[in-house]
Amino acid sequence: MADERGRGAGQGAGARGGLRPTAAAATALALVLVSGTWMNTTVFPLFDPIFTYARDISVTFNAGALIALGYVAYRAPRLLAPGPFVAAAIGFQVVGAVGLAAGLALEGGALLTAGASLGAIGRAGAIVMAGLMLSRLEARGMAVAVCAAFTAQYLATSCAFAMPVGLGVTCFLAFPVIAAALARRATEEVLGPASRREAPSDLSVTRPASFLAPFSALFVCLFLFQVVFGFALRFDEVGGAPHESPLSWLPVLLVALWVCAGRRPFPADFLVQTSALAVIAGFLLSSEGTAAYAAGALLLLHAGNALFGMTSRLALASIAARNPLAAATTLAWGGGVSSLGSLVGAAAGVGANQAVGHSPGAAFAVSATLLLVFAAYVIFGLRGFTFSGVIEGIQPVGERDAAGSPAERLEERCGELAAAFGLTPREAEVFAMLARGRDRAYIEDALVVSRNTVKAHVKHIYAKLGIHSHQELIDLVEE
């Protein structure tokens, strides 16, 4: 039977490395990233006059939903059947969008909070689905898709403040839904087999090298860098919106050109080191307390976070690709700890803003504390740590492992073809037996039907599948 991963998001065995699935994955990821940008620049500032804590509550729900998804995928993947999962992700977003829009129009704090929180739960599903779609690509396609998506986010950031508020809110609400729809096929291909296998929590007992530990250095890295992102969003904010310079995205554009134009490998470890230096320098400048230093600090903090964001997205997708059985867990936990980090950083940024008005020394204490924690982790916690090492350290789980036994894969393939060609339930039964090599006499006995009935079923099956022989049927199943 053909490699399941070969179908990817497109057609045929070469889909994973083709242009179309790469473009589709880049689009889905870009929609998620751009939605997040407009959330911070356009939507959240609208919350403040109504109920300012609605933004933090919704982010908390997003983080909680992602962590819960990761836990369920790790302990009970059977609960994440792809159909209901996709429906729930889109459904929560649609209901949340209605509630959020009504809350803004009626200036109702409770309605606004409820809508934003439900939408945040749905966006958690969209984030995971976009990551699953990315994980279906080959390494080169992943790098190109990530670079293209972050370039699109830069363009969205550059025009966000000039965009009409209504259009920004509409895009924020619609983009994750579109991303989820684009990633539906990839979600089915990954979550379908995983939901029918043993839980990763059980499999990791005998195959620990194939699973990323919940408190690995990678997840701690994600948390700390998102603390930086949250701090940069709220520190020195203007009217509830982050103060960001287009220059902070220049490193992202340079990396995109390096990878895409020169067809060079993605420099993951170099970017992590560079982003760490930018973050440390940003915290040093933020402690000075003057407007000029604050602008330079934010430039460095945003640049460092953008570089790390590119690297972490690629790392999570690469790990998910090496072990599809734990893909949802890896992507959901990565997103969850990132959201928690942004909450902590945002709280620190708000505290620093308040401290500036009362005591410059207090503002220095906030920045210095964050700098000390971050630098200590970089020096001690990341000793010997590399992103490439983490990725390569995950023992690959083959597609056959992820899909189950040969009998299970054959049954799944027959079910897919029966649905695709509109076979009736009885025709699907006969089709599955023919695919296993059973003859007409066996089918008569197994189904307790006459010879003529079996002949009629076979005739209808051949007509619907457009084939003329038993061998053609087997060839179709084994494609």
Write down the mean pLDDT value for the chain: 85
pLDDT at 296: 80
The residue among 419, 418, 421, 420 whose CA lies nearest residue 433 is 418
- CA gap 189, 240 in Å, rounded: 41
> pLDDT digit string (tens) for 339-386?
999 889 888 877 777 776 666 666 677 778 888 888 888 888 777 778
**CATH top class, domain 405-477:** mainly alpha
pLDDT band at 256 (very low <50, low <70, confident <90, very high): very high
- CA gap 369, 366 in Å, rounded: 5
pLDDT band at 299 (very low <50, low <70, confident <90, very high): confident
SS (H, E, C) the chain: CCCHHHCCCCCCCCHHHCHHHHHHHHHHHHHHHHHHHHHHHHHHHHHHHHHCHHHHHHHHHHHHHHHHHHHHHHHCHHHCCHHHHHHHHHHHHHHHHHHHHHHHHHCCHHHHHHHHHHHHHHHHHHHHHHHHHHHCCCHHHHHHHHHHHHHHHHHHHHHHCCCCHHHHHHHHHHHHHHHHHHCHHHHHHHHHHHHCCCCHHHHHHHCHHHCCCCCCHHHHHHHHHHHHHHHHHHCCCECCECCCCHHHHHHHHHHHHHHHCCCCCCCHHHHHHHHHHHHHHHHHHHCCCCHHHHHHHHHHHHHHHHHHHHHHHHHHHHHHHHCHHHHHHHHHHHHHHHHHHHHHHHHHHHHHHHHHHHCHHHHHHHHHHHHHHHHHHHHHHCCCCCHHHHHHHCCCCCHHHHHCCHHHHHHHHHHHHHHHCCCCHHHHHHHHHHHCCCCHHHHHHHHCCCHHHHHHHHHHHHHHHCCCCHHHHHHHHCC
pLDDT band at 396 (very low <50, low <70, confident <90, very high): confident
Q: In the chain, what are the domain boundaries?
A: 17-402, 405-477
Q: Using the predicted structure, report yes or no on whether residue 5 has a pLDDT greater than 70.
A: no
Please state, as a whole number, how many other Cβ atoms lie within 10 Å of the Cβ of residue 365.
Answer: 15
Q: Using the predicted structure, report yes or no on whether residue 242 has a pLDDT greater than 70.
A: no
Inter-CA distances, 102 with 49, 96, 105, 107, 113, Å = 15, 10, 5, 8, 11
Which structure tokens are listed for 256? 């995109």
Q: What is the DSSP letter of 241?
A: B
- CA gap 373, 91 in Å, rounded: 40
Task: Tell me the average pLDDT across 177-201.
Answer: 92
pLDDT band at 10 (very low <50, low <70, confident <90, very high): very low
What percent of the chain is predicted at pLDDT more than 90? 43
Enumerate residues 6+ apart whose C-beta is below 8 A from 218.
Answer: 212, 312, 315, 334, 387, 390
Q: Is the CA virtual torsion 365, 366, 372, 373 positive or negative?
A: positive
Q: Using the predicted structure, report yes or no on whether residue 141 has a pLDDT greater than 90.
A: yes
pLDDT at 15: 43
Partners of 383 in beta bridges: none
Of residues 302 and 192, the one with the higher pLDDT is 192
pLDDT at 345: 86
Of residues 290 and 158, the one with the higher pLDDT is 158
Please name the amino acid found at residue 243. Answer: H
Q: What is the CATH number of domain 17-402?
A: 1.20.1250.20
- Alpha carbon 430 to chain centroid, angstroms: 40
> pLDDT digit string (tens) for 22-74?
999 999 999 999 999 889 888 999 998 999 899 999 999 999 999 999 999 99
pLDDT at 317: 95
Fold match between domain 17-402 and domain 405-477: no
> pLDDT digit string (tens) for 433-454?
998 888 888 888 888 889 889 9
pLDDT band at 14 (very low <50, low <70, confident <90, very high): very low
pLDDT at 438: 84
> pLDDT digit string (tens) for 195-223?
888 888 888 866 778 888 777 888 988 99
Q: Using the predicted structure, report yes or no on whether residue 237 has a pLDDT greater than 70.
A: no
